[in-house]
């Protein structure tokens, strides 16, 4: 079973939701193994905004490519404040300003907290 077989229903659902929201053709969905084939800055230049949600280990290699991208806005989601801080520092070094961070306590009976953060490009 391929990654596409497992994720195809989710990708199709995202495409249908975008169509219903009037965003048909403006939302691209697909499957890519980022460990084997990370997105590089040139792959990201077609996008105005980028969302990344890495595993607990963070997205160091991906953040380095994101820092070189031209997108005006990046949204990061993280379950690990330490790796998020490292990745955010990389984005800041590439010209992105951290606008805000919002903690999300989605597991109310544990000490685990997620976070979502918004970055805006401040320099080319």
Model pTM greater than 0.75? yes
Given a cut of 70, the residues of the chain with pLDDT beneath it are 1-6, 124
72 and 87, same domain (yes or no): yes
Q: Kindly list the distances between the CA atom of residue 38 and the CA atoms of 9, 42, 65, 80, 102, in Å, as whole numbers in the listed order.
A: 23, 11, 8, 21, 27
Active site residues: 79
66 and 26, same domain (yes or no): no
24 and 57, same domain (yes or no): no
58 and 78, same domain (yes or no): yes
2 and 18, same domain (yes or no): yes
The per-residue pLDDT for 77 is 92
Range of the structural domain that residue 77 is part of: 33-121
The per-residue pLDDT for 2 is 64
The per-residue pLDDT for 1 is 60
Distance CA 98, CA 63 (A): 14
56 and 116, same domain (yes or no): yes
């Amino acid at each position: 079973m391929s990654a596409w077989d497992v994720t195809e229903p989710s990708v199709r659902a995202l495409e249908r939701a975008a169509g219903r929201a009037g965003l048909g053709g403006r939302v691209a969905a697909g499957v890519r193994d980022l460990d084997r084939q990370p997105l590089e800055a040139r792959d990201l230049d077609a996008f105005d905004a980028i969302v990344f949600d890495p595993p607990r280990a963070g997205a160091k290699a991906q953040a380095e490519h994101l820092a070189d991208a031209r997108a005006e806005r990046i949204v990061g989601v993280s379950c690990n404040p330490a790796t998020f801080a490292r990745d955010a520092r990389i984005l800041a070094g590439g010209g992105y300003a951290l606008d805000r961070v919002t903690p999300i306590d989605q597991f109310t009976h544990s000490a685990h907290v997620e976070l979502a953060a918004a970055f805006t490009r401040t320099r080319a």
